[in-house]
Amino acid sequence: MSEAFLKNPLGLFDIKGKVAIITGASGAFGALSAKVLAGAGAHVVLAASKQDELEKVAAECEALGAKAHIVALRPSSEDNCEKIVKAAVDTFGRLDILVVASGLNKVAKIVDQKPEDFLDVMDANVTQSWLMARAAGKQMLKQGEGGKVILTSSARGLLGHPAGYSAYCASKSAVDGITKALGCEWGDTGITVNALGPTVFRSPLTAWMYEDTERAQTVRRGFLARVPKGRLGEPADLAGPLLFLASKASDFYTGHILYADGGYTAG
């Protein structure tokens, strides 16, 4: 076995010139993913429904030295997913990395939740992940050079939640199943399929949990009692795991869920 990598171990994480699609690119995790990959030298294709929000993220990626292309579509149909992949190929000539960061949660106790809301969560988190992985996989298989598929899981795919998360927990467990199945299905193709499972990290949606209000302190104290690291997550805590999954460093790592959770799921 060649040990040439020992001369430059950091080269295992090099993604310069790679082409990445990020769905849900206007959301907290999607925008973070886009900027991390852009900052590492990848060309990024940003997909989400709102053009104006995508333009802001694209500008931030370009400020980091990357080339960015916008596709104002959600991965909500086979046709949309194929259009997103086609945009990457038409613009940059290929596709190397897929990050499915789009998703949805509708919180309600099961006796109060409308069946259509349950189905909306399952569609956004499960069906759309499957459709996007399918479209990207077709292109990667056609190229014959492998690729990186990164889905978005959650600690809630492994653990339950007492406050109306039956739809979300079920959807993330299903994402984990897709990850494992495709990791096996594409195991000999050079395409790795993994999921990144964050816990609470700082974003516009969670900013209140980081405040010094009585409510935030109470919620934070209860949550952190289960987190061995003793703190909430920061965006930087997701950057390293994401880059690992997007690079050659993870070539022998597939079908797994990588929890960036401060040890929350270890307890």
- Please give the positions annotated as active site: 168
Nearest to 19 by CA among 96, 130, 120: 96
Query: How many whole angstroms separate alpha carbon 117 and alpha carbon 170?
Result: 13
CA nearest 34: which of 11, 82, 10, 66? 66
| Separation between Cα atoms, residue 100 and residue 30, nearest integer Å | 8
Candidates 188, 267, 192; CA nearest to 230 is 267
Extract the tokens encoding 112.
Answer: 């109060």
Closest CA to 31 of 40, 41, 43, 44: 44
Q: Residues 97, 18: contact at Cβ < 8 Å?
A: yes
- Count how many Cα atoms sit within 13 Å of the Cα of residue 208 in the half-sphere of its side chain: 6
DSSP state letter for 248 = G
Nearest alpha-carbon partner for 247 in 137, 151, 150, 148? 148
Provide the Cα torsion 113, 72, 176, 43; round to 10°.
-160
